[in-house]
Chain A
């Protein structure tokens, strides 16, 4: 099987996918009501966004249309959120953000009844159930495949930014993992996770894909669980490292920050990507997962050690012009104040857990926040 042609799309257009948790309002455990919620959605004509099932019954995925700026993206996300929350109230279930469920045990999960999900479940065993984690995927439109690959590799240096800014999964199985994003630890367990190969043309990428399919290890692009992967049928690259934030507002802000960053990389071309950039990749990634903005980032070109906080603030200053151009400046200002004050979603969860005293109460607080903020 050869790789399909890369469909051209308008540069820097945005699309967001969010995986959400479905909670039982009785004890705030994950509840297998994806079917019920989807049935509710189907019965409403002209509903906003796109709502689809995910691998286990306790989760659901929403996705937006294509946007060129933060304002319309945020508005659509709010509209989808309000719509689904109404369904939730009618069905007596709650929805919330966050990268992991605070106390659910993976053994409790039920696989959604769909052929691909059963295939994945059979192949990966408990890893598939442990994959009941909730991420935000951001698509960035690229005019050509080679541009997409350039952007993909240029972004690798900034992947820790996206992890640190979105980290919202400190708790797993009721315990504080010490991580800001424990969710990504579950992703690493997959054999085809990590990074895309260092190729800079779509032809070379096609060759790599052919070799991989010939080995029988992969059948489609879907089998790669890379942090950033090209999506030829959309004409985008997809950034998959973010935890689903606790609010739709922050989800839109993250997309806006990424959009401004991509515009900076595409227009100013400050770095020429090469294989050595990846020497520090997993180290940086770990630090971002573990410590968030307090972590260390090693610059792949200079070898300099910086804190992620300083590097993000520095980047924000550098991309300001592009943010203003895209109408992403207000979103970037909110991100800046979050970084300066150290208020992330993971920190919020830890504070609520301490105040409320139990993981179910934390999940309830997350559900309330998702509905209103």
Chain B
């Protein structure tokens, strides 16, 4: 009747999430306190450590189980970024569009030409170069919030991130169109599909924004209810875009941007839409860490490394020259190029989406891009934070954060 000596304590799903959260908080603390790195890096490292790549306490299946939470967290950040971009600013200062096009265009062309060295189909090169164009909205929003950053470079960082993410999604869809064309799917489908996605996502975003806009008449005073509303809008956007075969990130980014530009009145959201939103953001980054597999860096060989170098150089030069010309102080223009470095885990999601259409085409891209994304998941946040601090736009001491 004695208790079994070989009693095995099975960690269930709740236990694993708890473990991940605690490790994330500890990781964030260690990063900030001892390594002077962004807290966000701590979340990713905690996930990487507990995940299958290192300790294996948390199986990779958890990313599938918690996928709705991850998508919701990502959706919130995309919507938040969109809602920080005021399209009226572009009208008052058209050099911003030039600057954004130069930065993105240079990145696209440079990475595309770099990939010529490797024997890859054109569509694959376009797709990889498209992914290289985008700056990670999730990392940028999180690092800006962590550092309480405000200033001209921060404003431009958010604007350029939103715009280059939109270009990247479009370019990626075009690359899919090219694959359609290669496989005799007909010209109509090759051109019509990207066009359908772009216009459809724009319209859906507009509908979401307008719906959200109408709720102001309800005068929701409680923050919890306003947060619930934002969640509902993001969920609705995600599911509708998915059902209609549109781009989820594009719909949410456009939705946020249109909401912001629809009225002069303010939509006052706290950062990440409040505490619950911030929790989703932590989960998003921790699970990104779980999904990372260091072996991808090796598999890709020199290609991811070269890709990162070329991309970094192109972004740096593109932003430095164009933003400097467009009226940003030279020091800030230089750092803007660095701040734009984080690469998108959005890219991975998109690559998976593409892989869903044509397995061989998508797998190629994933193999090339995953290694680069893995490295940038750790280097990117550090680069952005460094840029915010060196330009004096990060707030030195943490004064509690958020909206006051």
Point out residues on A near B: beta carbons under 8 Å.
Answer: 24-29, 31-33, 35-36, 39-40, 43, 89-92, 103-105, 107-108, 110, 113, 174, 358, 360-361, 364, 368
Interface of A: prevailing SS:
loop
* A232 to B: closest C-beta gap in Å: 35
Q: Tell which of B92, B150, B265, B327 touches A40, judged by Cβ atoms closer than 8 Å.
A: B327
Q: Which 10 pairs show the lowest CB-CB distances between chains A and B?
A: A36-B152, A89-B92, A90-B93, A92-B89, A39-B329, A31-B150, A107-B399, A92-B155, A105-B404, A360-B266
Given contacts A35-B329, A110-B395, contact A92 B86 (CB under 8 A): yes
Q: Is the CB of B150 within 8 A of A33?
A: yes
* Alpha-carbon separation in the docked complex, A31 to B393 (Å): 10
B residues near A360, Cβ cutoff 8 Å? 266, 268
B294 at the binding interface (Cβ < 8 Å): no
Residue of B nearest to A24 (CB): B150
Q: Is the CB of A103 within 8 A of B327?
A: no
* CB neighbours of B268 from chain A (8 A): 27, 358, 360
Complex Cα gap A343–B311 (Å):
59
Given contact pairs A35-B392, A110-B395, a sample of 6 additional A-B residue pairs in the complex whose CB atoms are under 8 Å apart = A31-B150, A33-B150, A36-B332, A90-B92, A90-B93, A360-B268
B264 in the interface (beta carbon within 8 A): yes
The answer, yes or no, to whether B189 is at the interface (CB within 8 Å) is: no
CB distance from A121 to the nearest CB of B (A): 13
A31 to B392 CA separation, bound complex (whole angstroms): 12
Q: Does B403 contact A (CB under 8 A)?
A: yes
The answer on a CB contact under 8 Å between B151 and A33 is: yes
CA distance A35 to B391 in the complex (A): 11
CA distance in complex: A89, B399 (Å): 29
Contact across chains for B266 and A364 when beta carbons are under 8 A apart: yes
> Are A361 and B327 closer than 8 Å at their CB atoms?
no
The residue of chain B having its C-beta at the shortest distance from the C-beta of A88 within the complex is: B92
Inside 8 A of B395's CB, which chain A residues have their CB?
108, 110
Min Cβ gap A332→B in Å is 35
Give the residues from 145 to 175 in chain B that come closer than 8 angstroms, CB to CB, to chain A: 150-152, 155
B residues in contact with A28, CB < 8 Å: 266
CA distance A91 to B329 in the complex (A): 12
Is B389 an interface residue when CB atoms closer than 8 A count as contact? no
B interface vs A, CB < 8 Å? Answer: 84, 86, 89, 92-93, 150-152, 155, 264-266, 268, 327-329, 332, 392-393, 395-396, 399, 403-404
Q: Which of the listed residues B84, B152, B392 has the most CB atoms from chain A within 10 Å of its own CB? A: B152
Cross-chain contact of A32 among B151, B265, B329, B404 (Cβ < 8 A): B151
Query: Which of B92, B93, B327, B404 is close to A104, meaning CB atoms less than 8 Å apart?
Result: B404
Residue of B nearest to A37 (CB): B152
Q: Choose from B89, B266, B329, B396 the contact partner of A27 (Cβ within 8 Å).
A: B266
Most buried by A among B266, B328, B393, B403: B266
Give the Cβ gap from A41 to chain B, nearest Cβ, in Å: 11
CA distance A24 to B392 in the complex (A): 16
**Cα–Cα distance between A105 and B400 once the two chains are bound (Å):** 11
The minimal Cβ–Cβ distance linking B18 to chain A, given in whole angstroms, is 34
A58 to chain B, nearest CB (A): 9
In the bound complex, CA of A143 to CA of B314 (Å): 63
User: How far is A332 from B187 in the complex, measured between Cα atoms in Å?
Assistant: 75
Q: Is the CB of A29 within 8 A of B327?
A: no
B270 to chain A: closest residue by CB: A27
23 interchain pairs, CB-CB under 8 A: A25-B86, A26-B86, A27-B268, A29-B404, A32-B151, A35-B392, A36-B328, A36-B329, A36-B332, A39-B327, A39-B329, A43-B327, A91-B93, A91-B327, A92-B86, A92-B155, A104-B404, A108-B395, A108-B399, A110-B396, A358-B268, A360-B268, A364-B264
A108: chain B residues within 8 A (beta carbon):
395, 399, 404
Complex: how many Å from CA A104 to CA B399?
12
Chain B contacts for A29, CB-based, 8 A = 150, 403-404
Q: Which of A33, A174, A358 contacts B152 (CB 8 A)?
A: A33
Expressed in whole angstroms, the minimum distance between the Cβ of A284 and any Cβ of chain B is 35
Q: Please, how many angstroms separate the alpha-carbon atoms of A33 and B266 in the complex? A: 20
Closest to B150 in A: A31
B327 contact from A25, A90, A107, A358, Cβ within 8 A: A90
Residues of B close to A104: CB separation below 8 A: 404
Residue ID in chain A nearest B92 by CB atoms: A89
* Contact between B152 and A361, CB atoms less than 8 A apart: no
Docked CA distance A24–B372 (Å): 35
Min C-beta distance of B403 to chain A, whole Å: 6
Q: Do the beta carbons of B150 and A89 come within 8 Å of each other?
A: no
B148 CB → nearest A CB, Å:
8
Residues on B with beta carbons closer than 8 Å to the beta carbon of A361 = 265-266
